[in-house]
Structure 1
Amino acid sequence: MSISANLSMMSGNQTQGNNTKCNLENDDRTFQVVPVYILIVAVLGIVLNMFVLMVFCLHKKACTVPQIYLSNLAAADLVLVSCLPFWAINVSRKFVWTFDESLCKIINVGIVMNAYCSIYFLVLVSIDRYMALVHPMTQMRMRRPSYAKLGCLLVWGLGFLLSLPSLIFRKLDFEGRCHIDYPKNMYLVFELMLFIFSFCIPISIISFCTIKIIKVLTNRLTEALGSQNKDQKATTLVLAVLLAFLICWVPFHLTKMTTILSKMGIITKCSVLYVLLICRQTFTYFAFFNSVLNPILYVIVGKNFRTKTKELFKQWSDVRKQHSKLSRSCQTQNVTP
């Protein structure tokens, strides 16, 4: 998740057989436009994800298993976007970190941890939809709210473990930049490990479950009513969230893989490294937008979420009416001689 301002920080490769590193600086417009974009994403993400959590947590009915996963996904998105204003300031200062080193670690752990948690919450959602549609006879035993909450707890723990390199090795360099400084010859080990556990494994599980789900839904197009129809509505929302995640995050992970290749000396040409720098930054900022897109999808695609929202507002309206009646009743009693 580190965003370097100079490609020589990202790759120490030699170019064209000489000892001169690629010195490719960002355009000044980057430091003017990008912070504004990040702040917009942060504000929208905070407001929208707080709204989603409010609907899920304050509604009088208990959350279903998919809603437990989606509410935790909203919580992960909320923590991520809450860290973004610090990155906006960092970019506006040309990647010079103006805060202390502890905050450098905490903010990056918050971003990295919740990015990893997001994809594994989607893994849980995919498995849940797979069980509900592909193996409906066993779903009652396996799909319990208590199991869902335990799964979410494990995901938070896994996200923290995957973010430990940022907590341990993230530091300020002599130029005041907040960057990750792995031990000698350990960069490739950590980056490859994180790439496998944060992308390859979860994407493989999600892809398998999604293919099976789509196949079942295609076979059930003629079936209309009952619990299956309810499951299909929930699955439509899940598939929309999965698609949004893939569109937003897959480009980032692919460019991250090319960065690893540049560290291995496979990619050395300065012009290619410059393109990688631009793509890495562009796709990183684009990935952040996923935290804004998810709550919007809940409203647009999630019919059950819209129903839950209406019921919550009606619930609040009834409470206000009761308080108003009680207040008028007390006033009447006070006026009566």
Structure 2
Amino acid sequence: MDELNSTWDYESYSPVVAETGACSTIDINKFGKAFLPPFYSVIFIISILGNGVVLLVLYKFEKLNSVTNIFLINLVASNLIFSFTLPFQAVYHSGEWVFGEALCKAVHGAYYLGFYSSILFLTLMTFDRYLAVVHSMVANRQRRGCYASCLSLAIWFVSFLASLEYFVHFTVEEYPMAGLVCEDQGEEHWLMFSFYKQIVLFFLFPLAVFVYCYMRITLTVMATRMAGKHRTIRLVFVIVLMFFVFWSPYNIVLMIDEFKVEEDCGSSLPYVRYIASNLARLYFCISPVLYTFLGRKFQNHARGVLASHFSCLASRLSISSSSRSLA
């Protein structure tokens, strides 16, 4: 009977006490308790390893003060900030919040800081790639380290402002049935503001930038005699497709949930939302890996790292000579 009195706030993944007369949440609570801790643990391990490899490759083979690499290092930092909150979430969803109120605020604030900054850095890198390909003459004069550093600082500032409410509103409450709960105590207008902020600023805006920029990149590449242009177009297509496939379902489910007229106790929507939201978080944890190692240059660098550390693999790893292309 204890489980009948608790449910989940799927947006913040915090257990909350359900209102009287709400649908039974036994099954969804069991699903979340079984699914989230191991899933967060796996995401954490994959993210640390993947982002660590990206940093290693950048350090060994790339100029760290180039525009693209400054953005990429900041993207990795965003993903690591997000990833380091996942062990706390894994422990939390296996029981109750045992880390105190200060960490309740810090963990959830950092969770959204990393999450939001990852989206904005991916958007910025997309726009920068568009400038480098479509407006190369102008971009080559203006794309300098100072330009990249100032834009990165602006992204961090916007992301901090967007996540500030979570640093402030999250607090620990104790419930007879659910125990210690780290939850968002913001008022209803703040919750509505958070919903539209995510949909507009962190979904529709990035999606529009992605589609427009990569359409222009594709048209520009097709109009040139660039070697390997078909590989470049495939790379562009994969990046846009993965962003849409991983990030769109969660936001679509959010909108359906927000505007539904009445609650359907037999609906599978909570399960869909669980899966879609965590797939989105998986994408942003490993996005630097996807963004870099789809390209041939970084594939060659990674092969070089493996060959230098594991001599038995050297004969099996071929390094392409065409590593200077966009792809």
Classify 1:47/1:31 alpha carbon distance in 2 versus 1 (closer, same or farther; 3 Å).
Answer: same
Q: Deviations over 1:110-150 (max 9, x none)?
A: 22111111111111111112112222221112322221122
Q: Which residue of 2 aligns with 1:192?
A: 196
**Aligned-pair CA distance for 1:303:** 1.6
Contact 2:246 2:276 in 1 (8 A): yes
Q: Distance in 2 between matches of 1:30 and 1:186?
A: 26
1:203 counterpart letter in structure 2: L
1:281 counterpart letter in structure 2: Y
- 1:3 maps to 2:7: no
- Aligned with 1:53 (options 45, 55, 58): 55
Q: Which is greater in Rg?
A: 1
Classify 1:187/1:61 alpha carbon distance in 2 versus 1 (closer, same or farther; 3 Å).
Answer: closer
Classify 1:224/1:206 alpha carbon distance in 2 versus 1 (closer, same or farther; 3 Å).
Answer: closer
- Aligned with 2:270 (options 277, 281, 285): 277
* CA RMSD, 1 decimal: 3.0
1:65 counterpart letter in structure 2: V
Q: Deviations over 1:150-170 (max 9, x none)?
A: 211211111111101111111
**What secondary structure sits across from 2:36 in the alignment?**
helix
- Aligned with 2:290 (options 293, 297, 318): 297
Contact 2:218 2:233 in 1 (8 A): no
Classify 1:112/1:186 alpha carbon distance in 2 versus 1 (closer, same or farther; 3 Å).
Answer: closer
Contact 1:59 1:312 in 2 (8 A): no
Structure 2 matches for 1:86-97, cutoff 5 A?
86-93=88-95, 96-97=96-97
- Stretch of structure 1 that moved more, 168-177 or 300-309: 300-309
Classify 1:66/1:280 alpha carbon distance in 2 versus 1 (closer, same or farther; 3 Å).
Answer: same
**What secondary structure sits across from 2:137 in the alignment?**
coil
- Stretch of structure 1 that moved more, 21-30 or 146-155: 21-30
Contact 2:92 2:98 in 1 (8 A): yes
Classify 1:260/1:168 alpha carbon distance in 2 versus 1 (closer, same or farther; 3 Å).
Answer: farther
Q: Deviations over 1:54-92 (max 9, x none)?
A: 221344634532232222212211221111111111111
**What secondary structure sits across from 1:68 in the alignment?**
helix
Classify 1:238/1:46 alpha carbon distance in 2 versus 1 (closer, same or farther; 3 Å).
Answer: farther
Q: Which residue of 1 aligns with 2:4?
A: none
- 1:30 maps to 2:28: no
Structure 2 matches for 1:215-226, cutoff 5 A?
215-220=219-224, 223-225=225-227
Unpaired runs of 5+ in structure 1? 13-18, 318-337
- Aligned with 2:85 (options 83, 86, 89): 83
**Aligned-pair CA distance for 1:280:** 1.9
**Aligned-pair CA distance for 1:309:** 4.2
Contact 1:188 1:260 in 2 (8 A): no
Q: Which residue of 2 aligns with 1:179?
A: 183
**Aligned-pair CA distance for 1:5:** 4.8
Structure 2 matches for 1:316-327, cutoff 5 A?
none
Q: Distance in 2 between matches of 1:234 and 1:155?
A: 27
TM-score (norm 1): 0.76
Percent identical among aligned pairs is 24
* Larger proportion of strand: 2
- Stretch of structure 1 that moved more, 293-302 or 155-164: 293-302
2:58 counterpart letter in structure 1: F
- 1:41 maps to 2:40: no
Unpaired runs of 5+ in structure 2? 1-10, 311-327
Contact 2:246 2:279 in 1 (8 A): yes
Contact 2:72 2:288 in 1 (8 A): no
Q: Which residue of 2 aligns with 1:255?
A: 253
Classify 1:232/1:66 alpha carbon distance in 2 versus 1 (closer, same or farther; 3 Å).
Answer: farther
- 1:73 maps to 2:67: no
Contact 2:109 2:166 in 1 (8 A): yes
Q: Distance in 2 between matches of 1:179 and 1:135?
A: 47
Q: Which residue of 2 aligns with 1:168?
A: 168
Classify 1:316/1:39 alpha carbon distance in 2 versus 1 (closer, same or farther; 3 Å).
Answer: closer
Q: Deviations over 1:260-296 (max 9, x none)?
A: 32xxxx4313237x43322221112112221454354
**Aligned-pair CA distance for 1:224:** 3.1
Q: Distance in 1 between matches of 2:143 and 2:89?
A: 39
- Stretch of structure 1 that moved more, 249-258 or 148-157: 249-258
Q: Distance in 1 between matches of 2:64 and 2:235?
A: 19
Q: Which residue of 1 aligns with 2:22?
A: 21
**Aligned-pair CA distance for 1:239:** 5.4
Q: Distance in 1 between matches of 2:300 and 2:39?
A: 32
1:163 counterpart letter in structure 2: S
What is the count of residue pairs matched by the alignment? Answer: 295
Divergent runs of 4+, >4 A: 231-239, 309-317
- Stretch of structure 1 that moved more, 179-188 or 110-119: 179-188
TM-score (norm 2): 0.78
